[in-house]
Structure 1
């Protein structure tokens, strides 16, 4: 049941934070494989992108990809939170009756990696993304994760090449190197602001909904 409750909680959070996921994706794909200054900038920053997408595509445009996002969140965070609950109930995170910060971090990281691996087929089969997702907790980690997220987004949404056939990228390493070569280091950090603004609310809402659902489940048992 913990897996289901965790998945439902994450889906609830996704309903509120998916617009930032849309913004992040649009910004990451903007000016793909083009030198800086050679393409039209439609989204100047997170807030401008949010406003522009809402104005042009309407409110529905800000919730594009919601259905696969819900599936991804349900499987990834359902397994992540459910796994953590099992570890917690097994009393692993305690030492001499007290919560151990080190064990809690290890348990959270392990549960996060398991959840990301389970959810990655819906998003992208990259162990680097799975590892990054399992370790998400601060701005420092967001900075480390963003380049992999940019590459993952581009691989997942990659168009055909300039000849109208084939694909632009031949795997993760090829996409990473091409992006770095054409767009520089800043190209690997597109959508950073949206990722950071999304992380906090999504984490807080997921844990809040999860805690409330667990309390409700205990009352109904």
Structure 2
């Protein structure tokens, strides 16, 4: 049940935040390996990107890649949040005094994040490529001309076998290790702090969850933003017939080339839409997660009372 609750929470959040993911992906790929001022800027900022996408591709284009994105959330957060809940129920994130341990929470969050992201990597690859796919006038990054989720997975398997489905996965592991551990740790530490010090006015449970989620979203955007950008580029790049990346041969090769051509600021391209996606997603995901867990506890308690 922990895995079902984790997956349902993430899917609920993903329905609302996928448009921000589309904008984030486009802005991260804009000016790839090109010095500032030497490329056409199709997307000037977060709001302009929404306008340009809707104008050139239609309003529904802001939900590109929704199907693989939601499927990815089921796999990723079913494992990540479900696994964390499993560990929390057994006190694996607590110290000897029964308090939330930052180091234990970080370790559990990182491990569950890596397992989840590797499990859902093929879906994340398809999601990224579908979201980057645009009309010629506003296209950025490599254009793969995919028709849909299933056809993309099938064609990739036929061309490159199982190995091809996990291309780019290496770039997502650091991203999720940092993102998952930061998100879960900051969420639980802040939530516990607010509860212990009674920093609330009304609806303490829900309000504390909201505040803790917002702070967690800020922490994730700052720490994970550059890693998210690297992951996007590794997933979206094209490959030759031998399976060699056309732009980057490895994770560190991507880092080196970005540093030489785009500088430090290049690693934070799309940071605003990154937070605009991560912030609400974190809030919605954890609010749904907390509420569903409470419903589960209530349902379990009612069942016990009925049978006693």
TM-score (normalised: structure 1): 0.85
Corresponding position: 1:146 with 2:225: yes
State the secondary structure of the residue aligned to 1:135: helix
Match of 1:131 in 2: 177
Match of 1:43 in 2: 43
State the secondary structure of the residue aligned to 2:269: coil
Cα 1:23–1:219 change in 2 (3 A) is same
Unaligned runs of 5+ in 1: none
Corresponding position: 1:213 with 2:261: no
Paired residues for 1:70-219 under 5 Å: 70-94=70-94, 98-102=98-102, 103-123=104-124, 124-126=168-170, 127-137=173-183, 138=216, 139-159=218-238, 167-219=246-298
**How far apart are 1:134 and its partner, in Å?**
2.0
Deviates more, 1:196-205 or 1:178-187: 178-187
Aligned equivalents of 2:47, 2:116: Cα separation in 1: 30
Aligned equivalents of 2:245, 2:221: Cα separation in 1: 32
Unaligned runs of 5+ in 2: 125-167, 184-215, 301-308
Match of 1:62 in 2: 62
Deviates more, 1:179-188 or 1:14-23: 179-188
**How far apart are 1:202 and its partner, in Å?**
0.5
Aligned equivalents of 1:115, 1:10: Cα separation in 2: 13
- Aligned positions, number: 218
State the secondary structure of the residue aligned to 1:92: coil
Contact 1:18 1:66 in 2 (8 A): yes
Deviations 1:79-131 (A, max 9, x none): 11111211121133445774324344554444334433433343341222232
State the secondary structure of the residue aligned to 2:169: coil
Aligned equivalents of 2:52, 2:278: Cα separation in 1: 22
Cα 1:136–1:46 change in 2 (3 A) is farther
TM-score (normalised: structure 2): 0.63
Divergent runs of 4+, >6 A = none
Corresponding position: 1:28 with 2:107: no
State the superposition RMSD in angstroms.
2.6
